[in-house]
């Protein structure tokens, strides 16, 4: 199962303060829109998302179909196939991708400790 690019989506209180902090750690803005209270930052292959007022918790994020530079992969495991596999393993879902759809979709699961995991396919 190929989960794609990995990042941590952080729930931040002040996106400008968080941006400044992570810049001191060597991260640079890579995507997003700070005026909309979200920003993607990168330091080598490490990717974090800063989200102000969008999530209640920090979230582990995987993007099927993308590499760490948000570039399309030639081959990848479609999110609906991942979902079917996880269902067969007894994983519970907080939200599901529409299995009758194609292209972009997302789903959210939770690990045994309550950490949310977002799988967000953009293509």
Has residue 1 got a pLDDT over 90? Answer: no
Report pLDDT for 5. 94
**DSSP codes of every residue in 28-57:** EEEEEEGGGTEEEEEETTEEEEEEESS-SS
pLDDT category, 82, cuts 50, 70, 90?
very high
- For 29, the token pair is 């803005």
Q: By the 8 A CB rule, do 38 and 50 touch? A: yes
Long-range contacts of 43-48 (CB under 8 A, 24+ apart): 47/5, 47/6, 47/7, 47/8, 48/7, 48/8, 48/9, 48/10, 48/22
- The residue among 81, 80, 62, 46 whose CA lies nearest residue 120 is 62
Give per-residue pLDDT as tens, 86-102: 999 999 999 999 999 99
Give per-residue pLDDT as tens, 5-51: 999 999 999 999 999 999 999 999 999 999 999 999 999 999 999 99
The mean pLDDT of 64-83, rounded to a whole number, is 94
- For 105, the token pair is 């979709």
- In whole angstroms, how far apart are CA 111 and each of 39, 54, 75, 86, 108? 25, 20, 27, 12, 10
Report pLDDT for 100. 94
């Amino acid at each position: 199962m190929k989960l794609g690019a990995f990042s941590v989506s952080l729930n931040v209180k002040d996106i400008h303060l968080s941006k400044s902090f992570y810049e001191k750690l060597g991260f640079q803005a890579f995507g997003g829109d700070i005026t909309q209270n979200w920003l993607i930052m990168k330091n080598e292959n490490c990717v974090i998302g800063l989200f102000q007022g969008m999530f209640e918790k920090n979230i582990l994020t995987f993007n099927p179909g993308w590499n760490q530079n948000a570039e399309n992969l030639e081959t990848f495991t479609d999110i609906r196939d991942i979902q079917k596999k996880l269902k067969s393993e007894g994983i519970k879902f907080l939200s599901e991708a529409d299995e009758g759809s194609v292209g972009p979709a997302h789903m959210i699961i939770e690990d045994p400790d309550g950490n949310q995991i977002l799988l967000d396919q953009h293509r």
